[in-house]
Amino acid sequence: MEQQDYIIELRNVRKKFDDADDYVVENFNLKVKKGEFVTFLGPSGCGKTTTLRMIAGFDTPTEGEILLKGVDISKLPPYKRPINTVFQKYALFPTMNVFDNVAFGLKIKKVPVKVKKNGQEVVKMVHLTKDIIKQKVQKALEIVDLEQFETRDIQTLSGGQQQRVAIARAIVNEPEILLLDEPLGALDLKMRKEMQLELKEMHRKLGITFIYVTHDQEEALTMSDTIVVMSDGFIQQIGEPKQIYDEPANAFVADFIGESNIYSGTIFPDHKVKILNKLFPMVDDFPLHEKVDVVLRPEDIIISKPGEGTVDGVIKSKIFKGIHYQYVIMVGKNEVTAQSTLSLPVDEKVSISITPENIHIMKRDATINAYDGYITKNNKVCFAEYDWECDVTQLLKGSSIDEDGYLVGPDHKKYDLTDAEVKVDVDLNKVMISDNVDECEVTGQIIQMVYKGDHYQYLVRNENDDFIVENEWTWNEGDIVGVTINKEDIKLKLKGDIKQYEL
Ligand code: ATP
């Protein structure tokens, strides 16, 4: 596709606020086609609004470029961009009627016209005529389906109608791009659903580019041509709704979009993956023995009589969902969420299977916590901004520590390991988190969490470092937790030769 076919492009955009240490938007690359409906989707605080505000011109990128039809606009003030924004808080003028609210911007706007002065053609800035303003407002109100509401007081309108006025006010300027920041957030569920369809229709009628922000995955799936899934300032995946649902790029996306069962698995010979303690046939190509994440959508689980499927289990709970039942089936210690139109009693023994095409395998982001560290003079190891108790004798087979704190080899050679650089590995299930923040070495915040059938996987962040933690206890995103690691669970590998530390 030619460069000019993209109306807006973000290239390597990063944003850090003046008083913050961290970037809230990282390495953001996106190309938006003219007329596309693009949605930024992600949990609260992941950087959606900040990215939108940079496109609008209310914030400037710390690094990177924002191109409009190939021209960098990152330094251009908002009013010079052919872009308008609709916010969740509509910010309408309460004392004005619908017409005046929509016309407000047009009344103060000046446009260039060519006039003759002393026989010469000059450009003069003039206000729009009343007739033109009227025509434009009527057209905008028609698009949002409020033609009959021109003289109505804003305060007499419902939430949904007020939101439509806010949209009319934004589109009356005929922008090339409309930015919408959680525009339906203040509406009740029914109104929200109606407005989703209406917004989609408005997008079709207007033919302009929409960039939409939401944390509601269903809204994103219903409305968008393209979804940009974000987490923690990073783009996790860009794709069409169906592609994102059917082929999530990682466990975070799978967990965030739709309902899913996510398990840690291992690849076995003959196109099989081991999950739920059984081998399931699959179609994806992955290297043998690779540790993977596996996603099974509840609607893809086939329930049959015991012994007929791949693995047996027992129904633990049953909820009626309108067109189907939703079951939680216990397979050993693992929970499997399944949907079926069959009505089966709780405690019934069943079997489950999944067709190979519906077993979605993803590369695991991390299988271990790995850090670069160094040994302190007390034989501790410094990583993740803390000096941890560790066993340095693992760096030399058969060694011990003498009373002066030197490492002594089996050949009685002595080593001073102070400042020795090491690689540190800690298994995911060996990092412990607790609510007793005061009693722990390090504190961190839970940034992400994914449920994996019989345990949770958490991403815990302290100042600059991340811990990936697996355990069966429930915390919430945003919780502050203490982090501890037992001395024997810290695995060290020396960078370079131990000889350089010999005394
Ligand atoms: P939400 O859905 O809750 O609006 P979001 O995904 O839109 O979340 P942003 O509003 O972009 O997230 O915020 C991303 C991060 O940047 C948050 O940690 C937020 O606290 C921080 N942030 C936003 N604006 C500022 C600011 N002006 N100064 C400092 N930090 C900010």
Q: Taking the CA atoms of the chain, what radius of gyration do you get in angstroms?
A: 29
The SS3 of residue 459 is strand
Percentage of the chain beyond pLDDT 70 is: 99
Element spanning 296, H or E:
strand 291-296
Read off the pLDDT band of 2 (50, 70, 90): low
Please give the C-alpha separations between residue 402 and each of 374, 407, 409, in angstroms, as whole numbers: 20, 7, 10
Q: How far is the CA of 10 from the centre of ligand 1 (A)?
A: 19
pLDDT given for residue 95 in this prediction? 87
* Among protein residues, the one whose CA lies closest to atom 3 of ligand 1: 44
Q: How far is the CA of 91 from the centre of ligand 1 (A)?
A: 20
Read off the pLDDT band of 195 (50, 70, 90): confident
Q: How far is the CA of 178 from the centre of ligand 1 (A)?
A: 20
Q: Where are the domains of the chain?
A: 3-104+134-246, 259-363, 368-501
Q: How far is the CA of 24 from the centre of ligand 1 (A)?
A: 7
Q: How far is the CA of 42 from the centre of ligand 1 (A)?
A: 12
Ligand 1, residues 21, 23, 24, 215: which to mutate, most atoms within 8 A of Cβ? 24
pLDDT given for residue 52 in this prediction? 95
* Among protein residues, the one whose CA lies closest to atom 2 of ligand 1: 44
CA distance 276 to 233: 33
Please give the C-alpha separations between residue 451 and each of 351, 369, 446, in angstroms, as whole numbers: 22, 19, 14
Where do we find the tokens 């139109």?
341
pLDDT given for residue 366 in this prediction? 80
Read off the pLDDT band of 462 (50, 70, 90): confident
pLDDT given for residue 364 in this prediction? 84
What pLDDT digit, counting tens, does each position of 46-77 carry?
A: 999 999 999 999 999 999 999 999 999 988 89
Please give the C-alpha separations between residue 3 and each of 83, 150, 382, in angstroms, as whole numbers: 19, 41, 48
328 has a pLDDT exceeding 70? yes
What number of other Cβ atoms are within 10 A of residue 366's Cβ? 12
Selection from 169, 180, 166, 177 nearest residue 136 by Cα: 169
Q: How far is the CA of 236 from the centre of ligand 1 (A)?
A: 18
Percentage of the chain beyond pLDDT 90 is: 63
Please give the C-alpha separations between residue 190 and each of 39, 98, 259, 268, in angstroms, as whole numbers: 21, 24, 21, 47
In the CATH scheme, what is the code of domain 259-363?
Answer: 2.40.50.140
Q: Which fold has domain 3-104+134-246?
A: Rossmann fold (3.40.50)
Count of H helices and E strands in the chain? 8, 35
CA distance 241 to 238: 9
CA distance 24 to 234: 8
CA distance 459 to 448: 5
320 has a pLDDT exceeding 70? yes
What pLDDT digit, counting tens, does each position of 214-255 carry?
A: 999 999 999 999 999 999 899 999 999 999 998 899 988 998
* Among protein residues, the one whose CA lies closest to atom 19 of ligand 1: 45
* Among protein residues, the one whose CA lies closest to atom 11 of ligand 1: 47
Selection from 87, 84, 22 nearest residue 57 by Cα: 84
Same fold flag, 3-104+134-246 and 368-501: no
Q: Which residues line ligand 1 (CB under 6 A)?
A: 17, 20, 24, 42, 44-50, 215
383 has a pLDDT exceeding 90? yes
Q: How far is the CA of 301 from the centre of ligand 1 (A)?
A: 38
Ligand 1, residues 17, 41, 234, 445: which to mutate, most atoms within 8 A of Cβ? 17
Q: How far is the CA of 374 from the centre of ligand 1 (A)?
A: 35
pLDDT given for residue 477 in this prediction? 87
CA distance 404 to 379: 11
Atom of ligand 1 at shortest distance to CA of 19?
Answer: 29
Which of the 8 DSSP states describes residue 298? G
pLDDT given for residue 281 in this prediction? 94
pLDDT given for residue 440 in this prediction? 82
pLDDT given for residue 113 in this prediction? 84
pLDDT given for residue 258 in this prediction? 83
Contact assessment for residue 28 and residue 64, using Cβ atoms and an 8 Å cutoff: yes
CA distance 218 to 158: 24
* Among protein residues, the one whose CA lies closest to atom 17 of ligand 1: 45
Atom of ligand 1 at shortest distance to CA of 53?
Answer: 11
Which of the 8 DSSP states describes residue 485? E
1 has a pLDDT exceeding 80? no
Q: How far is the CA of 18 from the centre of ligand 1 (A)?
A: 13
Sheet holding 278-281, edge to edge: 278-281, 272-275, 261-268, 291-296, 360-363
pLDDT given for residue 80 in this prediction? 86
pLDDT given for residue 4 in this prediction? 57
* Among protein residues, the one whose CA lies closest to atom 29 of ligand 1: 17
Overall average pLDDT of the 388-393 stretch: 94
What pLDDT digit, counting tens, does each position of 75-99 carry?
A: 889 888 889 888 877 778 888 899 9
Strand partners, 408: 400, 414
In the CATH scheme, what is the code of domain 368-501?
Answer: 2.40.50.140
What pLDDT digit, counting tens, does each position of 39-48 carry?
A: 999 988 899 9
3 has a pLDDT exceeding 70? no
